[in-house]
Amino acid sequence: MTARLQTVATPDGPFTLIADADGAVLASGWTPDASLVLARIHPRLRPAELREEPTAAGDAVAAYYEGDLAAIRAVAVRQQGTVLQQAGWAALRDIAPGEPLTYTGFAAALGSPRAVRAAASICARNAPALFVPCHRVLRGDGSLGGFAWGVDVKRSLLARERAGAAAGAPAADVEALPVP
């Protein structure tokens, strides 16, 4: 399979995405190195070739950074995983910008409030970062926790989403969150 590769300049650094022929994002992240993004794709979905070209997903990333936080939600994604992982990735897409959850809250949203490690694993194995917004999940104490593309990027995304959330919508105080 040949997939499309695009790198978009963002305030958080170069954002590289790989999308299949249908435009579904297979993996993405804040790096100019396509091999780092490619490595996050499950072997069953990993393309044999990459072709650099513009994508609708790249346009959605630009729109997100211009303030349209909903733009990324409209982009299709494709990941290979267990039934629980698939359910988790779908649930992550339902977390509203500016309203992050804790890992415990995310586990509860999946119907298993005690499955915090499973919830964290679902986030860690998420390949299409930003489009499946695992950055919206925080530690139980409200601190940022980890993020595959760096805690500084996670903090920036949460601050951007908090600032852009609808007036009166609850949001985390990301500026006050400690770095782990």
Q: What residues are labeled active site?
A: 134
Region for 23 from its dihedrals, namely left if φ exceeds 0, alpha if ψ lies in -120 to 50, beta otherwise: left
Residue 93 in contact with residue 133, Cβ under 8 Å? yes
Q: What is the DSSP letter of 69?
A: T
Nearest 10 degrees: Cα torsion 173, 74, 108, 147 = -50
**Hey, what are 53's tokens?**
């070209």
Crossing angle between the packed helical segments 116-124 and 83-93, to the nearest 10 degrees: 80
3-class state of residue 16 by DSSP: strand
Tell me whether residue 178 is exposed, middle or buried, using C-beta atoms within 10 angstroms of its C-beta: 0 to 12, 13 to 18, 19 or more: exposed
